[in-house]
Amino acid sequence: MLLEAKNGEETVVYKAAAASVQVLVEPVGRWFEAYIRRRNRNLSASFQELEEEEESSEDEEDEEFQLEEHPMLRTLDPKDWKNQDHYAVLGLPHLRYKATQRQIKAAHKVIVLKHHPDKRKAAGEQIAEGDNDYFTCITKAIEILSDPVKRRAFDSVDPTFDNTVPSKGEGKEKFFEVFSPVFERNARWSSKKTVPSLGTPDSSFEEVDSFYTFWYNFDSWREFSYLDEEEKEKAECRDERRWIEKQNRASRAQRKKEEMNRIRTLVDTAYSCDPRIKKFKEEEKARKESEKKAKAEAKKREQEEKEKARQAELEVVRLAKEKEEEEARQAAQQAKKEKEIQKKAFKKERQKLRSTCKNWNYFADNEVDSVKMMEEVEKLCDRLELTSLQSLNEILASGSKEESKAAVEKQVEEVNIQLQKEKESEAQARQAARSAEQASGGGGGGKGWNEEDLQLLIKAVNLFPAGTNARWEVIANYMNLHSTSGMKRTAKDVINKAKNLQKLDPLQKDEINRKAFEKFKKEHTSVPPSIDKATPSERFDGSEGNAAPWTTEEQKLLEQALKTYPVSTPERWEKIAATVPGRSKKDCMKRYKELVEMVKAKKAALEQVEAKNKK
């Protein structure tokens, strides 16, 4: 594309460009050879520079360079050679990592000629025996710096290198003066030869973006094997050598991670303080705001039109919804009123029936018949529909006592017949379920189980909970002691039947529990309730006590009261009954006797099992 001509100038095409031609080029030359050597030897560009400098200095063999002898060379500890500055030992602290191999060898030659033990011994100087002489430090220095791998390891932990990262406060005031030397200093660790510079305040967005992309993906050749605390060459066996290598790898990885975190912190700090980034962000924000504003205006006009149409539709929907809600509300109110009216009518008719029967003394001549008729009247109040109640009340209001009694007895008979039918249907359903259960192989080892045995099994399972020693043998012995069927049960029979009971329908379980409670009530009700001459209330309550099963909470209260009030306490059972709400003195005494019997039975069963085990 041709550039646009400036004012007063013209654009002229002198000659058409020739068509591009594809040419096969063979890579040659010293730069290609240097690249191949670095790739084959897995070396960085910095080491390549060192080799190139060494090669270029071959023609300058007579070049003189200044040596700076270490002022404390004679005081160095040979055993602490790892912490010494090898460049300073050889007199090259001013060149450091830039020193060539020829310069290192020349410096070593000069130092050796001056400090060799033979030279110093000939001069009459006292020489330390073995490796205790400081000359060992010179030997270690040339050993490290003459080996490219070991030299790279030492250069990675150069003690003179500044690892500090400028703070945000320093960078915001003088960004380029502060961060430019820091990035130049850390560029020596780059595996890539070309490292972009920080730039100037006028750098373009592409240049700044390229700089931060390079540093955010910085590839460092710096490694920390020189700081290994253990030397695997000192290991006495293969396992110890492997352990040392594992420890060293972990230590190197940790230091490498810290180094990359340092570089990342440096780049993040520079990015946050860079005024160019702030300027680019403001420009980008302004551009996006202008585009957003233009889009918003166009969208606003479009939405205004859509909103008008939508509002019209919503208004129609709203009116229709309000109308529907109003109709539903009125229907609900009407249904509620009808329900309240029906409820009041039910209450009125039931009260009327109770009052009428009460005025006729429940059509009975003695207290027992009166109580029985009272229960039948309550049954009518619960079972009859509103129309039936109204019809019955009209008959009672207009008829005589005999007619009223006949009408009530007729209704009672019909209700009882209906209840009987419901019970028969439930019994048939339970019988069918029981037959299916027995057909599925749940007969408990082929031995028949009657209702009494099932109730006794449930009682024994609750009496001997999980965790009881030889639980199922104890339950089997308990059943054999108390069963009236004469059938001897084994632990296997009991286990099979208990599993089958767990699979039963909840209605069948409730039926078994209900029959057990009725049997218990029948056995423990030996004295008929006394008849008092006083007129009973509408909600007649018998005087034989509360026959409902004891709940867990009532059981806890009873046990606590038995502990609180010992046998020597006067009026003990009155106080115990006062602590158990809803239970009388008679109920508490009866429950206590039952618990004593259960404990005795449990002890007897356990003793019998222990006796068998001893045999």
- Say how far apart CA 83 and CA 70 lie, in whole Å: 15
- Say how far apart CA 354 and CA 396 lie, in whole Å: 11
Percent above pLDDT 70 for the chain:
84
Select the more confidently predicted residue: 533 or 564: 564
Q: How high does pLDDT run on average in the chain? A: 81
pLDDT score, position 34: 80
Radius of gyration of the chain (CA): 54
Q: For 220, phi and psi rounded to 5 degrees?
A: -100, 135
> pTM of the predicted model, to two decimals?
0.41
Q: For 544, phi and psi rounded to 5 degrees?
A: -85, 5
Is the separation of the CB atoms in 192 and 44 below 8 Å?
no
Q: Residue 166: which of 244, 95, 266 has the closest Cα? A: 266
- Say how far apart CA 357 and CA 486 lie, in whole Å: 51
For 190, the 3-state DSSP assignment is strand
Token pair of 9, please?
């100038």
Mean pLDDT of 551-567: 85
Ranges of beta strands (E only) in 349-390 are none
Percent above pLDDT 90 for the chain:
20
For tokens 């006592």, name the residue. Answer: 401
Segment 149-203, tens digit of pLDDT:
999 999 999 888 989 999 888 888 889 999 999 999 999 999 988 999 999 989 9
- Say how far apart CA 139 and CA 31 lie, in whole Å: 35
- Say how far apart CA 438 and CA 460 lie, in whole Å: 22
Q: Residue 509: which of 458, 552, 465, 550 has the closest Cα? A: 458
pLDDT score, position 2: 55
586 C-beta neighbours (distance < 10 Å), count:
14
pLDDT score, position 62: 37
Provide the CB-side half-sphere exposure for 513 (13 A, CA). Answer: 11
Domain 552-614 has CATH 2.40.50.140: no
For 124, the 3-state DSSP assignment is coil
For residue 324, give Cα distances in angstroms to 310, 321, 329.
21, 5, 9
Is the separation of the CB atoms in 476 and 497 below 8 Å?
no
Domain 73-156 and domain 552-614, same fold? Reply is no
Going by pLDDT thresholds of 50, 70 and 90, the confidence category of residue 521 is low
Segment 419-436, tens digit of pLDDT:
888 888 888 887 877 676
186-189: long-range pairs with CB below 8 Å, 24+: 186/263, 186/266, 188/46, 188/97, 189/156, 189/220, 189/221, 189/222
Going by pLDDT thresholds of 50, 70 and 90, the confidence category of residue 298 is very high
Mean pLDDT of 53-71: 59
Among the residues of 483-571, which ranges form H helices? 491-502, 506-524, 552-564
pLDDT score, position 132: 76
Segment 25-35, tens digit of pLDDT:
888 887 788 88
Segment 569-601, tens digit of pLDDT:
888 888 888 888 888 888 898 888 888 888 888
Is the separation of the CB atoms in 87 and 93 below 8 Å?
yes
Q: For 92, phi and psi rounded to 5 degrees?
A: -120, 45
Question: Which one-letter amino acid corresponds to residue 295?
Answer: K
Is the separation of the CB atoms in 137 and 84 below 8 Å?
yes
- Say how far apart CA 450 and CA 152 lie, in whole Å: 94
Is the separation of the CB atoms in 174 and 258 below 8 Å?
no
Provide the CB-side half-sphere exposure for 565 (13 A, CA). Answer: 16
pLDDT score, position 479: 82
User: Which segment of 33-47, 201-215, 260-274, 282-296 scores lowest on mean pLDDT?
Assistant: 33-47
Going by pLDDT thresholds of 50, 70 and 90, the confidence category of residue 65 is low
Is the separation of the CB atoms in 89 and 70 below 8 Å?
yes
The per-residue DSSP string of 157-204 comes to: T-TT-------HHHHHHSHHHHHHHHHHHHGGGBSSS-------TT--
426 C-beta neighbours (distance < 10 Å), count:
12
Going by pLDDT thresholds of 50, 70 and 90, the confidence category of residue 531 is very low
- Is 50 a residue whose pLDDT tops 60? no
For 465, the 3-state DSSP assignment is coil
* Per-position b or e across 403-425, b if 16+ CB within 10 A of its CB: ebbebbeebbeebeeeeeeeeee
Q: How does DSSP classify residue 375?
A: H
- Say how far apart CA 471 and CA 457 lie, in whole Å: 13
Report the top-level CATH class of 73-156.
mainly alpha
- What does the domain layout of the chain look like in residue ranges? 19-60, 73-156, 169-273, 323-434, 464-512, 552-614
Segment 447-497, tens digit of pLDDT:
567 777 888 888 888 888 877 788 888 888 888 887 777 778 888 888 888
* Per-position b or e across 115-148, b if 16+ CB within 10 A of its CB: beeeebeeeeeeeeeeeebbbbbbbbbbebbeee
pLDDT score, position 262: 93
Size of the chain, expressed as the number of residues it contains: 615
